[in-house]
Amino acid sequence: MSTTEQAALHTGHTSTAAPRNEIRIEDLTVQFPDNKGGEPVVALSNVSLDIRRGEFISLVGPSGCGKTTLLRAIADLQQPTSGRIIVRGLFPREIRMQKKYGIVFQSPVLYDWRTVRRNVCMPMEIMGIPKKQRTATVTEMLELVGLYNFGTKYPHELSGGMQQRVGIARALAVKPEILLMDEPFSALDEFTKEKLQEDLLTIWEKTQKTIVFVTHSISEAVFLSDRVVVLSPHPGRLSAVVDIDLPRPRSLQTKQMPEFYEYVNKIRNSFEGV
Amino acid sequence: MTAGKAGKVLWPLAVGVAFLAVWQLGGIHALLHFKPFQLPVPLTILETVIDNLPKMLSDTWITASGALTGMIIGSLLGFLVAVIATMFPKWGYPGLTLVSLFNAIPIVALSPIMNRWFDDGFGQKVGVVTVVCMATMAINSYRGLNDLRPFTLDLMDSYAAPGSAKFFKLRLPNSLPSIFTALKINIANGLIAAMISEYFASSTAGLGFSIKDNLRKAMMAKGWSCIVMAALVGMLLYSVLTLVERRAVKWHASQNK
Amino acid sequence: MRLKSKKAERAVVWAVWIVAIIALWELGAYTLDAVLHDPMAPAKLPYFHSVVLGLVSYAGQLFSAMLVTYSRALIGFLIGTAVGFFLAILMSLSKTMEDIAFPYLIASQMIPVLGLAPIIFTLVRDMDTSRIVIAAYITFFPVAVNTLSGLKAVDPLKKDLMYSYAAGTPTIYQKLNLPFAAPYLFAGLKIAAPLSVTASILVDMLGSSSGIGVQLMYSLYGGLKDLFWAAVVMCAFMGLISYYIVVALERIFVPWARRKEA
Main-chain dihedrals φ then ψ at residue C210, nearest 5 degrees: -150, 170
Residue C204: what pLDDT? 81
Residue A245: what pLDDT? 86
| CATH, residue B149 | 1.10.3720.10
- Cis link prior to A80 (omega < 30° from 0)? no
Residue C51: what pLDDT? 86
Quick check: A152 pLDDT over 80? yes
Q: Per residue in A14-46, is it b (16+ CB within 10 Å) or e — as a string?
A: beeeeeebbbbbbebbbbeeeeeeeeeebbbbe
3-class DSSP state of A86: strand
Q: Is there a single domain that holds both residue B184 and residue B105?
A: yes
Flag if A111 and C259 touch (Cβ within 8 Å): no
Please tell me the CATH code under which domain A2-100+177-272 is placed.
3.40.50.300
Going from N- to C-terminal start, the domains of chain A cover 2-100+177-272, 101-176
Q: Is there a single domain that holds both residue B12 and residue B108?
A: no
Q: Which of C17, C21, C44 sits opposite B116 (nearest CB)?
A: C44
User: What is the tens place of the pLDDT at every residue in C222-237?
Assistant: 777 788 888 888 888 8
Q: Which of C17, C115, C198 sits opposite B94 (nearest CB)?
A: C17
Quick check: C196 pLDDT over 50? yes
DSSP state of A150: G
Q: Is there a single domain that holds both residue B188 and residue B158?
A: yes
Q: At what angle do helices C127-152 and C95-108 cross, to 10 degrees?
A: 130
Q: Calculate ∠ Cα B40-B121-C44, nearest 5°.
A: 130
Q: What does the radius of gyration of chain A's CA atoms come to, in whole angstroms?
A: 19
Quick check: A37 pLDDT over 80? no
Q: Are B86 and B146 in contact (CB under 8 A)?
A: yes
Q: Which of A237-246, B91-100, B165-174, B248-257 has the weakest average pLDDT? A: B248-257
Q: Which of A79, A94, A111 to mutate to test the interface with C (most CBs of C within 10 A)?
A: A111
Residue C2: what pLDDT? 55
CA distances from C62 to A204, B105, C46, C207, C221 (A): 70, 16, 19, 17, 17
Residue A20: what pLDDT? 66
DSSP state of B35: -
* Chain pair A-C, CB pairs under 8 angstroms: 59
Flag if B116 and C100 touch (Cβ within 8 Å): no
**What average pLDDT does range A49-59 have in this prediction?**
91
**Distance separating alpha carbons of residues C152 and C167, to the nearest angstrom:** 18
Q: Is there a single domain that holds both residue B29 and residue B44?
A: no
Q: Is there a single domain that holds both residue B121 and residue B47?
A: yes
Q: Which of C161, C164, C256 sits opposite A113 (nearest CB)?
A: C256
Task: Record the pTM.
Answer: 0.80
**Distance separating alpha carbons of residues C141 and B48, to the nearest angstrom:** 29
One-letter identity of residue A54: G
ipTM attached to this prediction: 0.77
**Distance separating alpha carbons of residues A241 and A231, to the nearest angstrom:** 9
Q: Which of C187, C186, C209, C197 is nearest to C76 (CA)?
A: C197
Q: Which of A42, A28, A43 is nearest to A85 (CA)?
A: A28
Flag if A96 and C163 touch (Cβ within 8 Å): yes
Please count the residues of chain C.
Answer: 262
Residue B149: what pLDDT? 79
Domain tally for chain B? 2
Quick check: A215 pLDDT over 60? yes
- Cis link prior to A235 (omega < 30° from 0)? yes
Quick check: C136 pLDDT over 60? yes
Counting Cβ atoms within 10 Å, is residue C159 exposed (0-12), middle (13-18) or buried (19+)?
middle
Domain limits for position B23: 1-37
Return the higher-pLDDT residue of C4 and A184: A184
Could you give all domains of chain C from N- to C-terminal order, each with its CATH number?
A: 1-45 (no CATH), 57-261 (1.10.3720.10)
**Distance separating alpha carbons of residues B70 and B51, to the nearest angstrom:** 30
Question: Strand A227-232 and strand A237-243: pairing?
Answer: antiparallel
Quick check: A123 pLDDT over 60? yes
